[in-house]
Structure 1
Amino acid sequence: MLAACSAPTSSAGAAVEQQGQTGLEKVPLTIQTATGAHRFTVEIAVSPEEQATGLMFRTDLGPDAGMIFPYDPPMEVGFWMKNTLIPLDMIFIRADGSIARIAANTRPQSLEPVRSGEPVAAVLEIGGGRSAELGIRAGDQVSWHR
């Protein structure tokens, strides 16, 4: 499955393509690291259209903001950066909440797939370089609730 930042697939996608999607549900998310707990407020991309659009066309992302893409059941996924204007860290999260891997500073507008490498229950996108700034690493725990 290739998701996030791919082309819109519905008639509503035309408006999204011009300015990025808004109005998604926001929830608190915490990443527990060796340096402490780091809190974010993230948008949830649930529907196929929301996941296909992801953070496309956004020109900025706050330091404690992001977007989460849940998968039930967990699955192997791949993301690309088509029409994504800012670098992102992609954090691949296992069903137990542990971080499987981090793709740091993904290249804006790239069509090269960034793959999870294993089944994941969610993918978290935050600003590029933010994981390194906060000391977020594979194995750290992520918790969030709808």
Structure 2
Amino acid sequence: MSPSKIVLHAGLKAQIWGLVTAGLLAIGASAHAGDAPQSLPTVALSAGMHNIQAEVARTPQELSTGLMHRSSMPANHGMLFVFDRPGQQCFWMKNTLIPLSIAFLADDGRVVNIAEMQAGSLESHCSTEAVRFALEMNKGWFKRKGVREGQRLSGPPFAAASPSGSAATR
């Protein structure tokens, strides 16, 4: 073998090693990116006089990640989960670092039921009726604001289901 071919092979070997290393780094980075909190588009909702800024989770990935990996959430902020069709929706708190309250909501924004959830818990919290929406807020938010089962939340996701075209709060 001539010396030029050895250099070529050594150069090719270095290029391959560089590509393998870059690929492994990219895989590692994407694995850690899955541990990062997601940031989603928001919608303004209200519960009576209380305004809510809710991130909207719609895709399977957004729905499954939810509020995981967040160390805090601002007051009056939350996440609205929007499912394709009504069904019994169940949530757990795996990889969720903050305690949350969840309200399961009918298509018209009516609060079906509310549950309190502990950070990191694998306990399931389910809707008592078939629903398409669930709203997660900081733990105790609904109780502190006087939001109860049967009350209606208002906002664009619920407007189409309201008889008058805009969901009113009772």
Question: What is the root-mean-square deviation in Å for CA atoms of aligned residues?
Answer: 1.8
Q: 1:16 to 1:100 in 2, by over 3 A?
A: farther
With the length of structure 2 as denominator, give the TM-score of the two structures.
0.71
Map 1:110-129; keep pairs closer than 5 Å.
110-129=121-140
Q: Name structure 1 gaps, 5 residues minimum.
A: 1-10
Is contact 1:89-1:131 (8 Å) kept? yes
In terms of fraction of residues, the more helix-rich structure is 2
With the length of structure 1 as denominator, give the TM-score of the two structures.
0.83
Query: Percent identity over the alignment?
Result: 38
Aligned length: 130
Give the superposition deviation at 1:76.
0.9
Give the superposition deviation at 1:70.
1.1
Give the superposition deviation at 1:121.
2.0
* 2:35 corresponds to: 18
Q: Secondary structure at the match of 1:126?
A: strand
Q: Deviations over 1:37-91 (max 9, x none)?
A: 2111110000000000000010101111000001232111100000000010100
Point out which structure has higher relative CO (alpha carbons under 8 A, 6+ apart). 1
Q: Name structure 2 gaps, 5 residues minimum.
A: 1-27, 158-170
Q: 1:90 to 1:16 in 2, by over 3 A?
A: farther
Map 1:4-83; keep pairs closer than 5 Å.
14-22=31-39, 24-32=40-48, 37-83=49-95
Runs of 4+ in 1 over 6 A off after TM superposition: none
Q: 2:99 aligned to 80, 87, 98, which one?
A: 87
When Rg is computed on C-alpha atoms for both structures, the one with the higher figure is 2
Q: 1:95 to 1:61 in 2, by over 3 A?
A: same
* 2:149 corresponds to: 138
Give the superposition deviation at 1:15.
4.0
Give the superposition deviation at 1:17.
3.2
In terms of fraction of residues, the more strand-rich structure is 1
Q: Deviations over 1:103-138 (max 9, x none)?
A: 02x111011111112101200000001111111110
Q: 1:74 to 1:98 in 2, by over 3 A?
A: same
Q: Secondary structure at the match of 1:57?
A: coil
Q: Secondary structure at the match of 2:34?
A: helix
Q: 1:48 to 1:13 in 2, by over 3 A?
A: farther
